[in-house]
Amino acid sequence: MALSQTTAAPAASESGFASALTTFVTALAVMAAGLIASIAVAVAVYAAFDFVLPYTKLLNALLVMVLGVAACFGYFWSSNKLLDTIYPASGAQIVSNITKANAIRPWLFLGPALIVVGIYLVYPVVNSVILSFHGPNGEAWVGTRNYEWLAQDPAFRESVRNNILWLIVVPAAATFIGLIAAALTDRISWGNIAKSLIFMPMAISFVGASVIWKFIYDYRPAGEAQIGLLNAIVTGLGGNPQAWITVPFWNNFFLMVVLIWIQTGFAMVILSAALRGIPEETIEAAVIDGASPFQIFYKIKVPQIWSTIAVVWTTITILVLKVFDIVLAMTNGQWGTQVLANYMFDWMFRGLDFGRASTIALVIMVMVAPIMVWNIREARKGIR
Partner 1 sequence: MAGVLMKNIKKSYGATEVIHGIDLEIKTGEFVVFVGPSGCGKSTLLRMIAGLETITSGDMYIGDERVNDIPPSQRGIAMVFQSYALYPHMTVFDNMAFGLKIAKRPKAEIEKRVREAAEILRLTPYLERLPKALSGGQRQRVAIGRAIVRDPKVFLFDEPLSNLDAALRVATRIEIAKLKESMPDTTMVYVTHDQVEAMTLADRIVVLSAGNIEQVGAPIELYERPANLFVAQFIGSPAMNVQRAKIEKAGEHTTIALGRHRADLPIPSPAGMAGQEIHVGVRPEDLTIASNGDGLIDGRVNIVESLGEVTNVYVDVENGPEPIVVKLPGVQRFSRGEPVSLMAQPAKMHLFNESGRSLLYL
Partner 2 sequence: MSTVVGARPALTWAVHIAVFVLVAIWTIPTLGILISSFRDKDQIVTSGWWTALAPAERNLVVRAAAPDDAIEENGRWVLRGNVFGEISGSVSAFGVSIQRPTEFSAGDTAETRDGELITIGENGDYAISYPERPEGARGQRLFVTSQEPPKFTTDNYETVLFSEGIGQSFINTLTVTIPATVIPILIAAYAAYALAWMEFPGRALLLATIVGLIVVPLQMALIPLLRLYNDIGVGKSFIGIWLAHTGFGLPLAIYLLRNYIAGLPREILESARVDGASDFEIFRKIILPLSFPALASFAIFQFLWVWNDLLVATVFLGNNEQQLVMTGRLRELLGSRGGNWEILSASAFVAIVVPIIVFFALQRYLVRGLLAGSVKGG
Q: Report 125-144 residues binding partner 2 (CB under 8 A).
A: 125, 127-128, 131, 138
Kindly give, in sequence order, each residue whose CB lies less than 8 Å from that of residue 162, ignoring residues fewer than 6 positions away. Answer: 252, 336, 337, 338, 339
Q: Please answer whether residues 212 and 330 qualify as being in contact, where contact means their C-beta atoms are separated by less than 8 angstroms.
A: no
Identified binder of partner 1 from the candidate list 67, 83, 98, 320, rule CB under 8 A: 98
Cα gap 353→338, rounded to integer Å: 18
Give min distance, CB of 72 to partner 1, in A. 23
Q: Shortest gap between Cβ of 77 and partner 1 (angstroms)?
A: 17
Out of 105, 142, 300, 307, the only residue in the binding site for partner 2 (CB under 8 A) is 105
Q: Could you say which of 40, 89, 164, 227 contacts partner 1 (CB under 8 A)?
A: 89
Q: Is 103 in the site for partner 1 (CB under 8 A)?
A: no
Q: Which does residue 369 bind out of partner 1, partner 2, none, counting CB within 5 to 8 angstroms by kind?
A: partner 2
Residues 6+ positions from 218 with CB-CB distance below 8 Å: 226, 227, 228, 231
Chain positions 350 to 379 lying near partner 2, rule: CB under 8 A, are 354, 357-358, 360-362, 364-365, 368-369, 372-373, 375-376, 379
Identity of the residue, 97 or 159, whose beta carbon is nearer to partner 1 in the bound complex: 97
Task: Return the one option of partner 2, partner 1, none that residue 206 interacts with (CB less than 5 to 8 A, by type).
Answer: partner 2
For partner 2, the closer of residues 138 and 336 by Cβ is 138
For residue 29, CA distances in Å to 26, 183, 264 come to 5, 57, 49
- Select 157 or 276, whichever has its Cβ closest to partner 2: 276
- Of 65, 95, 110, 273, which one interacts with partner 1 (CB under 8 A)? 95
By CB under 8 A, tell whether 97 contacts partner 1. Answer: no
Question: According to CB under 8 A, which residues from 154 to 193 bind partner 2?
Answer: 177, 180-181, 184-185, 187-188, 190-191
Number of residues that bind partner 1 (CB under 8 A): 12
Q: Which one, of 197, 275, 271, 211, lies nearest residue 245 by Cα?
A: 211
Q: Are 71 and 42 in contact (CB under 8 A)?
A: yes
State the number of binding residues for partner 2 (CB under 8 A). Answer: 125
> Residues 302-321 vs partner 2: string with x where CB under 8 A?
---------xx--xx-xx-x
Closer Cβ to partner 1, 3 or 18, answer by number: 3
For residue 5, state whether it binds partner 1 (rule: CB under 8 A): yes
Distance CA 311, CA 61 (A): 40
Interacting span for partner 1 (CB under 8 A) from 21-29, 38-46, 94-102, 250-258 = 94-102
Q: Given the complex with partner 1, which of 4 and 189 has the nearer CB atom?
A: 4
99 binds, among partner 2, partner 1, none (CB under 5 to 8 A by kind): partner 1
